[in-house]
């Protein structure tokens, strides 16, 4: 992404802020305790799979969609899974991919992690629409099993699939010593290749679960939505999905391969493995994960992130879309009103008004006066909240609006802004300031977990029902539809942005003005 360092903007951001502020939401509200009337068994090309019945939904968990990327398969494109004899026990989630725990920086997970989970209605119906969910987490944390598809599968009469993909150095290391037999003879972007392998598995195997392989929607939030944006411009992803949903995913600009390989050289040197793929593969999971600490990651200069490699991602996504080089599918695209609050709240030392002003002057030089005029600390309850507003606007709202403008020239785009100022807070019982419609807060509305929250108001539950209705319609037809109001297409010259609010869902005016997009577009084209 563009070289605007989040740490420079806000005086330092920790892994914790970036991790749980980018999609690591605790949304597992499984009905595992419910009585299981029977154990559903499905016959796939790989063999039988035995799941479990949770209420009116069949759940099949921990299904391998690729061979374990371990040993000589570490830092290679995903290989086909090996079949099995007998029925695969799919009643428990598989391993999450290796990552650093947010709270204590300990290492968790296993490199044998390429699993997916399927939630299907307990009906004899066939040809159901399918949604494949790609989790967020700044490409360094998270797993598919953190997101429960029961409610959406039952309410929408559709199939929900959640997936893992390789993270951190295992998913996104670019290093010349690893170039070789993989597609394009280029290293890096392994996590994106994993996502494509999972989508191919779904296309090949979802029919026995009742799904329609010709009606697959790929959906995700934050890093998951960024991934989907990149799959839109990846020729290798052509035909793997028919619709796309991007929630809070700015994806238009990436680091180059040269930049990524420079970081990869530093990584290899830290492991004592410069120039040796064999040496790199001999290092333990923990050694590899900790060779470059996750804490320096920022939205401006990420350590582990997809890159423009000239093959899987042939060119900068913004350039590809402008030229019409994309997989042309209908899509939902949007952001949240208060994208920056989590980053500002949990990212480090609180700034005084003078420190905030000094930071802006240092970061933006001759443009600092304009930035301070747009975000005057005296107008906000605290400098941290001024910082939060700027962070959300520059890194998310304006970039996501720009993506919608570019995409709408080629495909149907349905643009939204989620705006519940009192969205249930899943992160802090006593937040330092109100989070508002914070980054990731819409997921609980889309997947339906807000319906069960005792703290949710009737208006919030109604908003969740409405959002699920839009998403379900789109997954089934490629159009969100709706009657209150009907969701119309977005065009750059007619920017109809649907405000999803518990007060009233309506078309908003002045999105670009509220988020100071003219300012940010002039500073960062």
Instruction: With cut-offs at 50, 70 and 90, classify the pLDDT of residue 185.
Output: confident
Answer whether residue 135 is part of any domain.
yes
- Specify the pLDDT at position 137: 95
Mean pLDDT of 83-103: 92
pLDDT at 37 over 90: no
- Specify the pLDDT at position 103: 63
Answer whether residue 430 is part of any domain.
yes
CATH of the domain at 426: 3.40.50.1820
- Specify the pLDDT at position 379: 94
Percent residues over pLDDT 70 in the chain: 90
Answer whether residue 306 is part of any domain.
yes
Pair of tokens at residue 128:
């159901």
Pair of tokens at residue 449:
């977990």
Percent residues over pLDDT 90 in the chain: 82
Q: Which carries the bigger pLDDT value, residue 319 or residue 14?
A: 319
CB 201 within 8 A of CB 82: no
pLDDT at 357 over 90: yes
What is the per-residue pLDDT across 155-172, written as a single tens digit (0 to 9) for each? 999 999 999 999 999 999
- Specify the pLDDT at position 484: 79
Instruction: With cut-offs at 50, 70 and 90, classify the pLDDT of residue 427.
Output: confident
Helix (H, G, I), strand (E, B) or coil at 416: strand
pLDDT at 100 over 60: yes
Mean pLDDT of 89-100: 96
Instruction: With cut-offs at 50, 70 and 90, classify the pLDDT of residue 36.
Output: very low
pLDDT at 307 over 50: yes
CA–CA dist 338, 408 (Å, integer): 24
Answer whether residue 1 is part of any domain.
no
- Specify the pLDDT at position 14: 41
pLDDT at 101 over 80: no
Instruction: With cut-offs at 50, 70 and 90, classify the pLDDT of residue 13.
Output: very low
Residue linked to tokens 């947010």: 102
Answer whether residue 112 is part of any domain.
yes
- Specify the pLDDT at position 9: 52
What is the per-residue pLDDT across 223-256, written as a single tens digit (0 to 9) for each? 999 999 999 999 999 999 999 999 999 999 999 9
Mean pLDDT of 477-484: 90
pLDDT at 28 over 70: no
CB 485 within 8 A of CB 505: yes
Instruction: With cut-offs at 50, 70 and 90, classify the pLDDT of residue 346.
Output: confident
Q: Which residues contact 300 (CB under 8 A, 6 or more apart)?
A: 1, 2, 3, 4, 5, 6, 7, 8
Share the mean pLDDT of the chain: 90
Answer whether residue 249 is part of any domain.
yes
Active-site residue list: 222, 339, 439
pLDDT at 343 over 50: yes
Structural domain harbouring 309: 6-523
Q: Which carries the bigger pLDDT value, residue 302 or residue 143?
A: 143
Alpha-carbon distances of 400 from 54, 247, 322, 332, 514, rounded to whole Å: 37, 9, 15, 11, 14
CA nearest to 256, candidates 206, 178, 313: 313
Q: What is the DSSP string of 319-372?
A: HHHHTT-S----EEEEEETBTTHHHHHHSSSPPPHHHHHHHHHHHHGGGHHHHH
- Specify the pLDDT at position 22: 45
Count of domains observed in the chain: 1
pLDDT at 24 over 50: no
What is the per-residue pLDDT across 123-160, written as a single tens digit (0 to 9) for each? 888 999 999 999 999 999 999 999 999 999 999 999 99
Answer whether residue 476 is part of any domain.
yes
Long-range contacts of 479-484 (CB under 8 A, 24+ apart): 479/330, 479/412, 479/414, 480/332, 480/414
- Specify the pLDDT at position 348: 67
CA–CA dist 497, 398 (Å, integer): 13
- Specify the pLDDT at position 366: 93
CA nearest to 478, candidates 431, 412, 433, 426: 412
Mean pLDDT of 492-517: 95
- Specify the pLDDT at position 499: 97
pLDDT at 34 over 70: no
- Specify the pLDDT at position 184: 79
Q: Which carries the bigger pLDDT value, residue 446 or residue 183?
A: 446
Mean pLDDT of 260-271: 94
Q: Helix 223-232 to helix 190-205 angle, to the nearest 10 degrees? A: 80
Instruction: With cut-offs at 50, 70 and 90, classify the pLDDT of residue 301.
Output: low
Cα dihedral 332→407→204→89 (10° resolution): -40
- Residue 473 sits at the vertex; the CA angle it makes with 197 and 491, to the nearest 5 degrees, is 90
Strand ranges inside 17-56, DSSP E: 41-43, 48-50, 52-54
pLDDT at 300 over 60: no
Q: Which carries the bigger pLDDT value, residue 431 or residue 337?
A: 337
């Amino acid at each position: 992404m563009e070289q605007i360092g989040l740490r420079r903007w806000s005086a330092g951001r920790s892994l914790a802020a970036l991790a749980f502020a980018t999609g690591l939401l605790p949304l597992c509200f499984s009905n595992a305790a419910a009585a299981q009337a029977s154990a559903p068994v499905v016959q796939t090309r790989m063999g039988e799979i035995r799941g479990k019945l949770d209420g009116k939904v069949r759940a099949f968990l921990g299904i391998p969609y690729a061979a374990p990327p371990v040993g000589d398969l570490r830092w290679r494109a995903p290989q086909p899974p090996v079949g099995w004899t007998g029925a695969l026990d799919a009643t428990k989630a598989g391993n999450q991919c290796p990552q650093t725990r947010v709270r204590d920086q300990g290492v968790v997970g296993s490199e044998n992690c390429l699993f997916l989970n399927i939630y299907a209605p307990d009906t004899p119906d066939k040809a159901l629409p399918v949604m494949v969910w790609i989790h967020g987490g700044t490409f360094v944390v998270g797993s598919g099993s953190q997101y429960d598809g029961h409610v959406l599968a039952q309410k929408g009469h559709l199939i929900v699939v959640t997936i893992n993909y390789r993270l951190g150095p295992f998913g996104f290391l670019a290093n010349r010593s690893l170039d070789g037999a993989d597609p394009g003879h280029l290293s890096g972007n392994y996590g994106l290749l994993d996502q494509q392998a999972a989508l191919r598995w779904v296309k090949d195997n979802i029919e026995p679960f009742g799904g329609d392989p010709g009606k697959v929607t790929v959906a995700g939030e934050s890093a998951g939505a960024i991934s989907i944006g990149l799959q839109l411009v990846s020729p290798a992803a052509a035909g793997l999905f028919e619709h796309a949903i991007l929630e809070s995913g700015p994806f238009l600009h990436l680091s180059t391969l040269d930049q990524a390989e420079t970081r990869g050289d530093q990584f290899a040197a830290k492991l004592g493995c410069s120039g040796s793929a064999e040496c790199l593969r001999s290092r333990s999971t923990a050694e590899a994960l900790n060779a470059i600490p996750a804490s320096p990651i920022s939205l401006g200069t990420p350590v582990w992130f997809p890159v423009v490699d000239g093959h899987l991602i042939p060119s900068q996504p913004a350039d590809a879309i402008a030229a019409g080089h994309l997989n042309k599918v209908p899509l939902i695209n949007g952001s949240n009103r208060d994208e920056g609050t989590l980053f500002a709240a949990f990212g480090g030392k609180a700034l005084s008004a003078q420190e905030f002003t000094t930071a802006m002057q240092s970061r933006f030089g001759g443009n600092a006066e304009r930035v301070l005029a747009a975000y005057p600390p005296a107008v906000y309850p605290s400098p941290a909240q001024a910082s939060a507003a700027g962070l959300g606007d520059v890194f998310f709202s304006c970039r996501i609006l720009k993506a919608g403008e570019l995409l709408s020239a080629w495909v149907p785009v349905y643009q939204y802004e989620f705006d519940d100022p009192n969205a249930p807070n899943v992160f802090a019982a006593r937040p330092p300031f109100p989070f508002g419609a914070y980054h990731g807060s819409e997921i609980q509305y889309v997947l339906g977990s807000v319906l069960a929250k005792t703290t949710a108001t009737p208006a919030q539950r109604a908003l969740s029902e409405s959002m699920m209705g839009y998403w379900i319609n789109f997954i089934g037809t490629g159009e969100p539809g709706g009657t209150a109001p009907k969701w119309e297409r977005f065009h750059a010259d007619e920017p109809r942005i649907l405000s999803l609010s518990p007060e009233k869902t309506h078309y908003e005016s002045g999105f670009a003005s509220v988020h100071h997009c003219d300012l940010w577009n002039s500073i960062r084209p």
